[in-house]
Amino acid sequence: MFLPMLWPIVVIGAIIVMVMLLIGDGRTPAGRRDSRGLTPFEILRERFARGEIDRAEYEERRRIISQG
């Protein structure tokens, strides 16, 4: 009696898991990677190291990314 009700639950659960895997893994924007495989934090650090942005801008953008 319980087994016939279990199969639809298993199928629906499998569909939900597949959709979640296709959409993304739920990481924050800071955990996503660009085409080079770098996270936003890594890109920000590179820009700061190259002198493209100053310390104040680096700190502000880092704060914004971490809130993401």
Question: How many domains are contained in the chain?
Answer: 1
pLDDT mean across residues, the chain? 81
Question: Which amino acid belongs to residue 43?
Answer: I
For the stretch 10-60, pLDDT in tens is: 889 899 888 776 776 545 455 566 667 778 888 899 999 999 999 999 999
Query: Crossing angle, helix 55-67 and helix 40-50, to 10 degrees?
Result: 180
**Distance between CA atoms of 23 and 55, rounded to whole angstroms?**
35
Domain that holds residue 43: 3-67
Residue 5: burial class (beta carbons within 10 Å; 0-12, 13-18, 19+): exposed
For the stretch 53-63, pLDDT in tens is: 999 999 999 99
